Structure formats: C-alpha cells, structure tokens
C-alpha cells in the first residue's frame, strides 16, 4: 500500500493520492445517463422523485446522474430503464464520446463497441444524425450490442468484425477506440 500511495503521490500530488486511497474500498454509486433520443431530463427527474430516488446531476454532462440511495437493480425495475429512456453507464465511460465531440452528418467508427454505451451515447449526442459504424468481433457481444442499440433507438450499423481489419472501402471522419483491457486485444494492438 505504501508504494502504491507513493506512486499516486508522485503522479497526482499528496491530496489527490490520499483521496484515492481513502475511497478505494467504497462501493461505487449507481450512475446513468438520460437517453435524449427517447426522453428528457425533466421526465426522468419526475420518475426518480416519484420513486423517492435521490440523485445529483453531474456538473460536466447535463444528461448524467449519480444516485444516492438506489442500485442498478432498482432502476432496472422502472419503465424508464425497460423502455431505453436511460442507460446505466459509469461516468468514466461517458467521457470518451464527450471528448470525441461527435458531429452530425459525419461518419463515425466505434472500434470496440460492445455493449453499446458509447455508440448509443454518440447517437444521442448527434441526435441520430451521424453515420455510426459499431464494430464488435465477438458474436455474442455483438448480439448484446445490437440489442442495446435497438432498445436505445439509436441509428448504428453493426459489424461483427475486428475493426482493424475493415475494408479500405470504409472511411471515417471520427474514430473512437476505448480499447478493452483483455489480453487478447492488447496482444494484437
């Protein structure tokens, strides 16, 4: 632990290193984003209030919420989840599409798209007006990707293929690669 703290301290400073170490054992709060293709913040907040679920909005992303007193299982029982009006997603997973700043009418590739959180977020950010290609080389994960895209009402073309081997015919204006941590992928990169 001491060497871990020292490494964090060197990289981030003592205050942030202490905060990281203090919070390491804490349970992660439930977070989600509003699927703006199907709902708006007012509707979702009304449902949360009706179900006595306390929440905080995320300052850097208007569609993101942190729940204080509810779990993913609680949300999964609500119609707003079942209808695809919200998407359970970690805050860190919401960052790559925001950094990408996807544009309408652009050709966008999500190279490792399953289970679909980032691809559907890109669709929402572009109001379904971008040409999104979502690649997933694993057939089972690709089925989950297709399911989530349909549930979210997102317009995406799914390719069951390793994105590194896409035909030269395809050209993209923007590419998102939030590479998986699996050894299989990392060995190939």
pLDDT per residue over 27-86, tens digit each?
A: 789 999 999 999 999 999 999 999 999 999 999 999 999 999 999 999 999 999 999 999
Give the phi and the psi of residue 59 in degrees, each rounded to 5.
-65, -30
Q: What is the largest CA-CA distance in the chain?
A: 52
pLDDT, residue 135, reads 96
Rounded Cα distance between 103 and 125, Å, is: 8
Specify the pTM. 0.83
The residues, any chain, with a CB within 8 Å of residue 114's CB and separated by 6 or more, are: 136, 138, 141, 142, 144, 145
Whole-number pLDDT of residue 101: 97
Which CATH fold topology does 31-92 show? Alpha-Beta Plaits (3.30.70)
Specify the 3-state DSSP secondary structure of 102: coil
- Mean per-residue pLDDT of the chain: 91
The reported pLDDT for the residue numbered 8 is: 79
What per-residue confidence (pLDDT) applies to 97? Answer: 97
Give the model's pLDDT for residue 186: 46
The CATH number of domain 95-179, selected from 3.40.50.150, 3.40.50.620, 1.10.10.10, 3.90.850.10: 3.40.50.150
| Model pLDDT, residue 26 | 66
Asked if the model's pLDDT at residue 140 lies above 90, the reply is: yes
């Amino acid at each position: 632990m001491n060497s871990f703290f020292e490494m964090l301290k060197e990289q981030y400073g003592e205050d942030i290193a202490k905060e990281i170490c203090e919070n390491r054992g804490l349970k992660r709060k439930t977070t989600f984003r509003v699927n703006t293709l199907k709902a708006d913040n007012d509707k979702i907040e009304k449902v949360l209030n009706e179900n006595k679920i306390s929440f905080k909005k995320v300052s850097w992303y208007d569609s993101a919420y942190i729940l204080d007193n509810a779990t993913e299982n609680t949300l999964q029982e609500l119609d707003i989840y079942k209808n695809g009006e919200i998407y359970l997603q970690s805050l860190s997973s919401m960052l790559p599409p925001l950094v990408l700043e996807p544009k309408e009418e652009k050709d966008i590739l999500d190279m490792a798209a399953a289970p679909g959180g980032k691809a559907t977020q890109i669709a929402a950010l572009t109001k379904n007006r971008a040409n999104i290609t979502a690649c997933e080389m694993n057939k089972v994960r690709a089925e989950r990707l297709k399911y989530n895209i349909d549930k979210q009402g997102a317009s995406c073309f799914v390719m069951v293929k390793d994105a590194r081997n896409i035909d030269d015919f395809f050209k993209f204006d923007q590419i998102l690669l939030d590479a998986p941590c699996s050894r299989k992928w990392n060995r190939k990169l």
